[in-house]
């Protein structure tokens, strides 16, 4: 397997071990993800998936290890510019009174052109900007949560269980949206239920008790196909 380190997200020996915990939550994580690819990490509840995304978005700091983006070593302050994190059930965190307010939270200077561009990216541009986020459908709320991150123009989109709690047809639409987004962004998705996302996955890992491994295994009786040997 050969990757060009100049063009990728590269995690080296990341360890997260809060002092109160008897064992590390993340145990020497190594991961390489090229740009404009979708990486999928599959693991059960409590395996460390959200913790890894929190580190990558600069919310918490690993005790050791390094994070590189295009050969540049990054520290927490730089990570929140690199990455946009969409939490699990992001609609629970909306605090704007309208779509426009939600998109402009923390960025009141954003011009309408950029707002419209990002809304068209997630196919919400047909809605009035005054629509309250809580009046949107479940699928539209997920799209708005993505738009909130995209408008900050991160390089890397981090998605925690993006299809959780959505109906089948909405999950399908969201997966098509993610497939479109990876033409411009690098995506890292974590989930305990990979069924929806596998079809658009370029690289896949499993995580169990904080240990990350490249996938090439049987999940729900089906061989998971990864592109670890592509590129
Ligand atoms: N600061 C902390 N101190 C102690 N334990 C922690 C801390 N942060 C996370 N944990 C524990 O680490 C484990 C991994 O948590 P994490 O939320 O990353 O798992 P997850 O795979 O995302 O699970 P889920 O899918 O249920 O969200 C859990 O057992 C959690 O309780």
pLDDT digits (tens, 9 = 90+) for 27-52: 999 999 999 999 999 999 999 999 99
Does ligand 1 lie within 6 Å of residue 45's CB atom?
A: yes
CA dist., res. 185 & res. 97, Å (int): 28
Residue 141: pLDDT over 60? yes
Using the predicted structure, report yes or no on whether residue 99 has a pLDDT greater than 80.
yes
* Average pLDDT, integer, range 90-110: 93
> What is the 8-class DSSP label of residue 91?
G
Pairing of the two strands 64-69 and 72-74: antiparallel
**Overall average pLDDT of the 210-228 stretch:** 61
What residues contact 213, with CB distance under 8 A and at least 6 apart? 205, 206, 207
Phi and psi torsions of 50, nearest 5°:
-65, -35
pLDDT of 73: 92
Q: Is 20 in the pocket of ligand 1 (CB under 6 A)?
A: yes
> What count of other Cβ atoms lies within 10 Å of the Cβ of residue 13?
12
Confidence class of residue 7 from pLDDT cuts 50, 70 and 90? low
Query: What mean pLDDT comes out for the span 78-92?
Result: 91
pLDDT at 75: 81
| CA-proximal residue: ligand 1, atom 8 (nearest) | 51
Torsion of CA 198, 199, 200, 202, to 10 degrees: 60
- Whole-number Å distance, alpha carbon 19 to ligand 1 midpoint, is 14
Contacts of 168 (CB under 8 A, 6+ apart): none
Say if ligand 1 is within 6 A of residue 48 CB.
Answer: yes
Using a 6 Å cutoff on CB, does residue 63 contact ligand 1? no
Q: What is the pLDDT of residue 217?
A: 44
Q: Complex ipTM above 0.90? A: yes
- Please check whether the domain covering 35-59+76-223 is classified as CATH 3.60.21.10: no
Instruction: Domain ranges for the chain, please list them.
Output: 35-59+76-223
**Cα–ligand 1 centroid distance for 210 (angstroms):** 9
Tell me, using a 6 A CB cutoff, whether residue 57 lines ligand 1: no
Q: Atom 25 of ligand 1 has which residue's CA nearest to it?
A: 45
**For range 147-166, the mean pLDDT:** 93
Contact 189, 48 (CB under 8 A): no
Q: Are 53 and 188 contacting, i.e. CB atoms less than 8 angstroms apart? A: yes
Q: Would you place residue 119 in the very low, low, confident or very high pLDDT band (cuts 50, 70, 90)?
A: very high
Cα 151 to middle of ligand 1, angstroms = 28
Examine the pLDDT at 2 and tell me if it is beyond 50: no
Q: Mean pLDDT across the stretch 91-109?
A: 93
* CB of 191 sitting under 6 A from ligand 1: no
Which of 10-19, 23-32, 66-75 is least confident? 66-75
């Amino acid at each position: 397997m050969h990757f060009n380190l100049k063009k990728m997200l590269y995690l080296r020996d990341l360890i997260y071990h809060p002092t109160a915990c008897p064992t590390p939550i993340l145990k020497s994580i190594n991961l390489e993800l090229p740009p404009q690819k979708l990486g999928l990490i599959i693991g059960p509840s409590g395996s460390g998936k959200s913790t890894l995304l929190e580190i990558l978005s600069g919310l918490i700091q690993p005790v050791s290890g390094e994070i590189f983006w295009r050969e540049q070593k990054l520290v927490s302050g730089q990570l929140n510019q690199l990455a946009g994190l969409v939490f699990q059930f992001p609609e629970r965190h909306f605090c704007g009174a309208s779509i426009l307010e939600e998109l402009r939270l923390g960025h009141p200077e954003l011009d309408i052109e950029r707002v419209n561009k990002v809304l068209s990216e997630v196919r919400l541009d047909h809605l009035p900007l005054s629509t309250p986020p809580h009046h949107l459908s479940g699928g539209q709320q997920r799209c708005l949560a993505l738009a909130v991150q995209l408008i900050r123009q991160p390089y890397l989109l981090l998605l925690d269980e993006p299809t959780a709690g959505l109906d089948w047809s909405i999950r399908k639409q969201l997966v098509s949206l993610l497939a479109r987004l990876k033409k411009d962004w690098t995506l890292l998705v974590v989930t305990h239920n990979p069924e929806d996302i596998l079809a658009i996955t370029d690289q896949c890992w499993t995580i169990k008790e904080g240990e990350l491994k490249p996938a090439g295994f049987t999940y729900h009786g089906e061989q998971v196909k990864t592109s670890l040997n592509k590129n």
